[in-house]
Amino acid sequence: KLVLLFPRLSGIKGNSKLSKTLGKGKILDAGSGVEEAEFNWDEYLEDTGATAAPHGSFKHVDTSLQNGFAPGMKLEVAIKSDHNTYWVATIITTCGQLLLLRYDGYGEDRKADFWCDIMTADLHPVGWCEQNKKILKVPEGIKDKISDQEEFLRQTLTGACSAPANLLEGVSVYSNRLN
């Protein structure tokens, strides 16, 4: 969840969608004119009809931050609400050591996308749960969409590209040193 601080937006007129998107929040300090609001770029872009700047527009970002992960690769990821269970997630995009992931089963719904840091997140190649006797469990948010977990996994993983284990081996060694 990203929290942005910005000046009070009570003066926005003429664009009710923009006002609705940006005008949510609570005043932090009645005298400061600053509001706290949850902000979702995808919703903002959709509401305003704008498009995101392509990654190539940010040439100042160090290209050495490439991490070997690629959009479309699949991982087994600890479920945020229950770190003892895992579910398959697809990499949506990468930014240095950060991955934007979406649990499989959400389809094109971006609302549940989440960022994780490859150095600290509980990430594993597809098949790791089975090898290590860990539980794969459908996340609560899509439980009603998936009636047969085994069949769903068979379909979503057929022909899929798993994130290579060698990209994750160094990560788990590093994060284990932190624990």
* pLDDT score of 140 more than 70: yes
Is 35 part of any domain?
yes
Answer yes or no: do 68 and 120 share one domain: yes
Is 57 part of any domain?
no
Supply the pLDDT for residue 58: 62
pLDDT, average across residues 9-33: 43
CATH at 164? 2.30.30.140
Is 82 part of any domain?
yes
Tokens of 114: 């989440």
Mean pLDDT (the chain, rounded): 74
| Better pLDDT: 50 or 65 | 50
Answer yes or no: do 95 and 161 share one domain: yes
The helix/strand/coil state of 172 is helix
Picking from 147, 137, 139, 146, the residue whose alpha carbon sits closest to that of residue 113 is 139
Supply the pLDDT for residue 3: 40
Tokens of 162: 């798993």
Supply the pLDDT for residue 128: 93
Supply the pLDDT for residue 84: 87
| Better pLDDT: 57 or 164 | 164
Is 36 part of any domain?
yes
Answer yes or no: do 37 and 74 share one domain: no
- How many C-beta atoms surround the C-beta of residue 95 within 10 A? 13
Report the Cα–Cα distance between both ends of the chain, in Å, rounded.
24
pLDDT, average across residues 158-178: 67
- How many C-beta atoms surround the C-beta of residue 168 within 10 A? 21
Answer yes or no: do 69 and 34 share one domain: no
Lowest-pLDDT choice from 14-18, 119-123, 153-157, 162-166: 14-18
pLDDT digits (tens, 9 = 90+) for 79-130: 988 888 999 999 999 888 889 999 999 998 888 899 988 888 889 999 999 9
Answer yes or no: do 126 and 69 share one domain: yes
Answer yes or no: do 167 and 82 share one domain: yes
Structural domain span for residue 78: 63-178
Lowest-pLDDT choice from 54-63, 124-133, 143-152: 54-63
Tokens of 127: 């098949």
Answer yes or no: do 68 and 152 share one domain: yes
Answer yes or no: do 107 and 134 share one domain: yes
Supply the pLDDT for residue 73: 94
Is 58 part of any domain?
no
Supply the pLDDT for residue 175: 41
Is 29 part of any domain?
yes
* pLDDT score of 48 more than 50: yes
Answer yes or no: do 122 and 170 share one domain: yes
Answer yes or no: do 68 and 132 share one domain: yes
Answer yes or no: do 155 and 68 share one domain: yes
How far apart, in whole angstroms, are the C-alpha atoms of residue 36 and residue 4?
6
* pLDDT score of 43 more than 70: yes
Is 69 part of any domain?
yes
* pLDDT score of 49 more than 50: yes
Answer yes or no: do 86 and 160 share one domain: yes
Is 40 part of any domain?
yes
Task: Provide the domain count of the chain.
Answer: 2
